Structure 1
């Protein structure tokens, strides 16, 4: 097929060196012409090769992924009863190792015991004992005051009630 477009036109298109109108024309022509499609594919491959030379080779993703997989916790399959498909019935579940759980439990108990020891050592509970002693003193004073009030003559009570009512 004899085309209006040459290989250089497709290189300019791949490198985005054409106008919007010309890009639309090239794209429309690309759907109709097999030889231009070959030119376009070759220009794309050349462009990708140039990018790879400029940037460098792609990192080895497989090694990174495998290292991440080895560092993840062990996974087991658990059956799901209300799943819609067979693939959904066996869902992976992350299970922590028993050793990790035991250490976490021990660590929590150790922190709690240390905290209680520090509170006891620095006399935090002494404040409560002192407050209890003060409460007993105040209760004893109140009891003696009420006893004295009950032993006063009734006239004093009548005078107090009359003064409050008026």
Structure 2
């Protein structure tokens, strides 16, 4: 197995390497612990050259001002049918776009045919109708008829048994003829 040098890993970290060599180095990292250690040392040595954030809070505020996600939050823990939509909207009055206002709108309740209770009641009603119509009874009768055969087949002897029986009968007849001659 070929190991890569610390200098090659430093070039990889600084992005001073060709794409084909980059793929080889990345694939090699999956299999070699020694090169992984060299790679981690190269990252540690190179982290001082990375830009430093002056204020993490202002950076976060700037990123959040550019992101406008729509979040769906349940109104209460127990009632998931009522939902609130929360949208983060950038403040257009502020030039930095660092402050966000939250607009909430409640969505309507689901129609009755989309609620779980409706489906349970529908299943119960269908079960009761099938019970009173005798559908379950006919299914039970049909299943029991499949389990037990309606006519018992007669036990047929095999060809070998037939040949053996005829052979014994023939031998018995020969013995009888011999006995009659004496």
**TM-score, with structure 1 as normaliser:** 0.34
Higher strand share: 2
**TM-score, with structure 2 as normaliser:** 0.32
